[in-house]
Amino acid sequence: MTSSRIVLLAAALVCAASVAVVARQAAPTATPQMSETFFKDIRVLKGIPIDEFIDTMGMFAAATAKDCTGCHSPQILDGKPEAFAIETPMIQKARFMVGMMNTINRNFFGNQKRVSCFTCHSNTSVPQNVPNMSIQYGDPVDNPNSTEFIVAKGSDPSQIDSVFAKYLDALGGAQRLNAVTGFAATGTYAGWDTGLSDVPVEIFAKAPGQYTTIAHRTEGDSVWTYDGQNAWEVSINAALPSTIPLTKGNLEGAKLESIVALAPARLRQSFAKWEITKGLIDDKPVQILRATNEGQMPVNFYFDNSGLLVRLQRWNETLVGPVATQYDYSDYRDVGGVKRPFKIVKTSTRNQVTMVMKEIRPNVAIDAAKFARPTTTRLIK
């Protein structure tokens, strides 16, 4: 997506937002709100949690190279959340094509999601029936977010153990890792939601598995919290509920973030099955481990020659196929005897965010309220 599209998307989100003040309170987790109970005029994408609905929108954006304004009414730029429900020719076509895709998967693939929006669109906003010979005769390009995985020949469990042993040693060793009960970090956050401008960010982690990220935007705070069992996202976009419970792959992803940040020694035991292969990132060799649990989408871990984790990739299943979320870790530095990444780039079909840490303080006191269910109080302009 071009920089102009990124800025346009950021403008759409900012214009739709109202100022929010974030407060936190301990509250039981309710059943996730379904898409049709919040959004207006939902006809096809019914019966799915709101976070999966937003991931589905991300699939549409990734497949067509469009942002929100590519399908929705231009009135969404006027700060009118209800304008997202205005029917447009593109929305009508999208509904038709979701039905067509479901029919193909039902009739030819036993209802498996083998065909998705991206299968045919492949990131072109105007698909054509004329072959593109620059692709046909050009250099082959693999999709780095593909769910396909070819296990290396001759791999065995001892190789998996060897990769993890090297990983923990590269981080500083099990003894030093176990001595860290939490940390607080400060730095900057920049993404499409901030118009690519840096804003302050705070990250809080606390053993055994709590993790919170707070981006201090000018319109209010965006918050992602995992309390050890449940996870939520606070959105200050007026077109969304203020607090969204995370479900399925997104909930598992929040749990995974907390493990990687604070308890990497638990990774090996967190998945029932491991496989290994080799690959490249920026022409540099990496060991790739794929982890799976029954009934969940897989997770890929990429380790460089030093043993450090340089990429993590997970997926979330949606009604129109799986979407990937990718974390790239770099600029590892020593913090109290433990190596920590000072740069994290999180890429999904919804957003691409770069977080650069300026300070990480281990074993500091953290208020328990930082990990409680976050809520927002909206202020009318």
Cα separation, 329 vs 296, in Å, equals 24
**Three-class DSSP category at 153:** coil
The phi and psi torsions of 221 (rounded to 5 degrees) equal -90, 130
Cα separation, 295 vs 9, in Å, equals 34
Cα separation, 56 vs 58, in Å, equals 5
Do residues 42 and 243 make contact, with C-beta atoms less than 8 angstroms apart?
no
pLDDT of residue 289: 97
Max CA pair span of the chain: 63
Cα separation, 168 vs 176, in Å, equals 10
Q: What H or E segment, with its residue span, contains residue 100?
A: helix 89-108
Beta pairing class for 231-234 and 273-281: unpaired
- Runs of H (alpha helix) within 1-49: 3-16, 35-38
Single-letter code of the amino acid located at 326: Q
pLDDT of residue 240: 82
Give the domain range for residue 19.
1-381
Locate 199 and state its tokens.
């804003």
> Mean pLDDT for each consecutive 10-residue tract of the chain (381 residues)?
42 38 46 92 94 94 88 88 92 94 95 91 80 77 86 85 97 96 98 94 96 94 96 82 92 97 95 95 95 96 98 96 96 97 96 97 96 67 31
pLDDT of residue 333: 98
Provide the CATH number for the domain around residue 8.
Answer: 2.50.20.10
Locate 112 and state its tokens.
């498996």
Single-letter code of the amino acid located at 123: N
Helices 50-64 & 248-262 angle (0-180, nearest 10)? 90
Cα separation, 164 vs 146, in Å, equals 24
Name the β-bridge partners of 235: none
Cis ω on the peptide bond leading into residue 208 (within 30° of 0)? yes
Do residues 111 and 102 make contact, with C-beta atoms less than 8 angstroms apart?
no
Cα separation, 143 vs 379, in Å, equals 43
Cα separation, 39 vs 193, in Å, equals 21
Count of domains observed in the chain: 1
194 closest CA partner among 237, 257, 226, 246: 237
The gap from C-alpha 187 to its chain's centroid, in whole angstroms, comes to 20
**Three-class DSSP category at 324:** strand
**Three-class DSSP category at 310:** strand
- Angle among Cα 171, 310, 371 to the nearest 5 degrees reads 70
pLDDT of residue 376: 63
pLDDT of residue 1: 43
